[in-house]
Amino acid sequence: MRRTVSILGLALTAMFAPAAHAAGSIAPSDRAAIDRTLDVFVPSAIGRKDSAASWPLVTAKMRLGSDRASWAKGFLPVPPFPVVGKTFHGWTINRVGPGHADITLLVHLKKGAPLGAVSVDLTMRKLHGRWFVDSAVPAATFAPAGSDSKVLAQPDFAPQGGQAFSKTGRISQKWVLIIPGVLFGLIVLTPIAVLTAHRVRDRKVRRRNDDDRSRGLGIRRKGQYTATKG
């Protein structure tokens, strides 16, 4: 009987352990480290205030298809929003595991913006004892205080999402079109722009080298001709 109870206990533990781990908790030291990363990343990357400051705080995955110079000019895979605030510690945990945490952060926007707040899903990675941002995707937007606008959730970021709103609807038609356009541009057009810039630069370098080589060859030929004539 005791053996049967033990087996049942182990089975129940195995069944419910993954569900408990899915949400999980995080050590106070890790939470403080994530806070420090977000305090710089949110205003820098999302708010576009000195976007270069967020470059050291992201993983290689976030840097893919970009470089420090283009990142500093605002070409980064994070939609821009006019965020307010200096600290961003009010995030909640969706899932946590060894060396990573999926969290959600509600970011408030400046007064007068068409939107009041944005909920952002972030994936954090712990590398070499430090926490970095691995991805940042808006999950939902909220209307300003006092407005009767609807919540615009992540599925509405697709082009067909605007069909859910009438012409007299709750969210401005302009923003229904702008948000998908911004996301499309950041995800698709930014890497293309970066690659194009690299190719143009490489062509200029090759052309300059060819010109230098041609001038050098002309000087050598002129010297040979002068020596022969003499």
Q: Residues of 160-176 as b/e, b for ≥16 C-beta within 10 angstroms?
A: ebbeebeeeeebeeebb
Structure tokens at 163: 């069909």
Q: Residues of 75-99 as b/e, b for ≥16 C-beta within 10 angstroms?
A: bbbbbebbbeeeebeebebbebeee
Question: In terms of Cα–Cα distance, which of 51, 39, 53, 104 is closest to 80?
Answer: 51
Task: Given CATH 3.10.450.540, say whether it is the number of domain 20-216.
Answer: yes
Q: In angstroms, what CA-CA distances link 164 with 13, 150, 151, 161, 181?
A: 44, 10, 11, 6, 17
The domains of the chain are located at 20-216
The sign of the torsion formed by the CA atoms of 186, 192, 194, 197 equals negative
Q: Render pLDDT for 84-115 as a digit per residue (tens, 0 to 9).
A: 999 999 999 999 999 999 999 999 999 989 99
Give the number of other Cβ atoms within 10 Å of residue 124's Cβ: 26
pLDDT band at residue 137 under the 50/70/90 scheme:
very high
Q: Are strands 130-142 and 92-97 parallel, antiparallel or unpaired?
A: unpaired
CA dist., res. 47 & res. 68, Å (int): 17
Strand order in the sheet with 130-142: 92-97, 100-108, 117-127, 130-142, 152-153
Q: Render pLDDT for 36-88 as a digit per residue (tens, 0 to 9).
A: 999 999 999 999 999 999 999 999 999 998 999 999 999 999 999 999 999 99
pLDDT band at residue 30 under the 50/70/90 scheme:
very high
Structure tokens at 10: 């182990």
How would DSSP label each residue in 72-109? HTT-SSS----B--S-----EEEEEETTEEEEEEEEEB
The residue whose two tokens read 């000195």 is: 50
CA dist., res. 22 & res. 225, Å (int): 80
The region of weakest confidence among 28-37, 86-95, 139-148, 173-182 is 173-182
Predicted pLDDT of residue 35: 98
CA dist., res. 160 & res. 140, Å (int): 16
